[in-house]
Copies of this chain bind each other. A is one copy, B any other.
Amino acid sequence: MSHAQPRPVRAPIGTQLTCKNWLIEAAYRMIQNNLDPAVAENPDALVVYGGIGKAARNWDCFEQILESLKNLNEDETLLIQSGKPVGVFPSHVDAPRVLLANSNLVPAWANWEHFNELDRKGLMMYGQMTAGSWIYIGSQGIVQGTYETFAEAGRQHFGGDMVGRWVLTAGLGGMGGAQPLAATFAGACSLTVECQQSRIDFRLKTRYVDEQARDLDDALARIAKYTAEKKAVSIALLGNAAEVLPELVARVKAGSAIKPDLVTDQTSAHDLINGYLPVGWTVEQWKAAAGDASRHADLKAAAARGCAVHVQAMLDFQAMGIPTVDYGNNIRQVAFDQGVKNAFDFPGFVPAYVRPQFCEGRGPFRWVALSGDPEDIYKTDAKIKELFPHHAGVHRWLDMARERIAFQGLPARICWLGLGERHKAGLAFNEMVRTGELKAPIVIGRDHLDSGSVSSPNRETESMKDGSDAVSDWPLLNAMLNTAGGATWVSLHHGGGVGMGYSQHSGVVIVCDGTEAADKRLARVLWNDPGTGVMRHADAGYEIAQQTAQERGLKLPMLGR
């Protein structure tokens, strides 16, 4: 269907405009940045990340999006329907320049089968979260999200300080590999059990993990040493989590003083064929069985038995008073189905650690330097520290990120800020653009792992206090409000993260072009967007959110009625 051919794409940098103003230019650069070979997983297929999360429906659509943006007037709005530019309509300068809707299906048809059929016909595209909404910036987000989770655990359980503490977990895969670095960032030691040497090697090479222990005794000795020295060192251990964790439980029960301060897991227990090594199996046996459909039933059963043992050990740790959480890999459900009836005694990571932050409108805020110059980001890093001098966690993150995280594509930064903080940052950046302190405008956006713009009952809105997990009025209100406020582009997606049928969510991006008009828009949008998160959680009955609303002066008409 598409006549245009794949080609290497890179966002233009510098101060020369291709489009009619910086707001439009920002969209023009950011869609290209999403497809930069240094950013995208499979740029030829327009795939940015997350399975088949794409930035445009096909190459014809991609080229026409660029063309439409080049021609777009400052009072027009371009509509994108699942990655295809379908219309250009009159609006006004304070309205968004682009509005996007990706992968949305009427509920009774909202499943992968129907989606795939439409996708094959060229009528649809999977937008994931930041892929189809043109604000993906590489893997910085994974480290940072995990860091925030650990940092919040530190705040909740250890008076805000993880120093001298240690995290016990497993899995050094695509996402799980961020755990040791994130723990280090949070000030903690960590022990990560991983059954494949190749995965450990990769993480050692990229400095995501510091050291590998020879065996469990060696690992515990290192942990004891580093925690005593208050050094945040990460240790990998080759082994099967379903063997190592029960052994650790047994040692603690037998009197060992070396016990973890936080327990979690990121093996791929959600996929019992390819994701979880059964107890007593070698990795080679596992891979062979995974590659042979006739052995899948056996493999699944064996992996599930392993998960049950693994979860039992996690429950044992919890029973000792050690904070324990599921990291979104479904391992509790597997164990529950195996007969571990109290598997859900420990919570998921969102209700446990992320929700309290959502209640304050906090979540993965991010920004990108359109100049292409890393110095611009370093200056904004400094500005954030200056604006929030008491935010120790943020300071620590910014320092670590600068040192250990490589930029991919346009220089960018992620940092969790909440209601009352984001618009301050936005206004400060806009001022820096205005005065010329920064070389070019800054683009501000956020993930859809967010407080007010996501309904995802298996993740972001799992176990809401009032049972409103599946109510999706909230992301729709968020998208309309951000449109009303004058964001630069706004998107509404379905199925991100958890797949077709299971989520609805909205994205927002706004540009600091240094103008006074942008000041007004930034003040509104970066207040309103996290504000809807506080509102949604206050409405669900969370006290932190109700307090935040009151303290910050959010207008919630029914609060307290």
Contacts and interface: CB of A to CB of B under 8 A. Distances in A.
Nearest to A484: B95
B466 A555 contact: no
A287 to B, nearest CB: 32
A106 interface: yes
Interface in A485-501: 485-486, 490, 492, 494, 500-501
A279 interface: no
A107 B494 contact: yes
A67 interface: yes
Closest 3 A/B residue pairs (Cβ): A107-B110, A109-B470, A101-B473
A81 interface: yes
Interface stretch (A20-28, A83-91, A204-212): A83-91
Contacts of A469: 106, 109
A531 B91 CA distance: 13
Contact of A472 (B105, B470, B481, B484): B105
Interface string A89-119: 1111011100101111111111000100110
26 contacts: A61-B558, A81-B473, A82-B471, A82-B473, A85-B557, A85-B558, A86-B535, A86-B539, A86-B558, A87-B554, A87-B555, A90-B527, A91-B481, A91-B484, A91-B485, A95-B486, A99-B481, A99-B484, A101-B473, A104-B472, A106-B456, A106-B457, A106-B472, A107-B107, A107-B110, A484-B484
A467 interface: yes
B474 A106 contact: no
Interface residues of A, number: 83
Interface in A508-561: 520, 523-524, 527-528, 531-532, 535, 539, 554-558, 561
Contacts of A90: 485, 523-524, 527-528
A117 B468 CA distance: 10
A60 interface: yes
Interface string A460-479: 00000011111111101101
A484 B79 CA distance: 11
A456 B501 CA distance: 17
Interface in A116-140: 117-118, 121, 123-124
A492 B476 contact: yes
Nearest to A503: B106
Contacts of A504: 104, 106-107
Given A84-B558, A87-B477, 15 more contacts: A64-B561, A67-B557, A77-B484, A90-B523, A91-B484, A91-B485, A91-B528, A106-B504, A107-B494, A107-B501, A118-B471, A123-B468, A480-B480, A480-B483, A483-B484
Contacts of A94: 92, 94-95
Contacts of A378: none
Count chain B CB atoms within 10 A of each CB in A95, A470, A531 and give the residue with the most: A470
Count chain B CB atoms within 10 A of each CB in A91, A95, A484 and give the residue with the most: A484
A101 B91 CA distance: 22
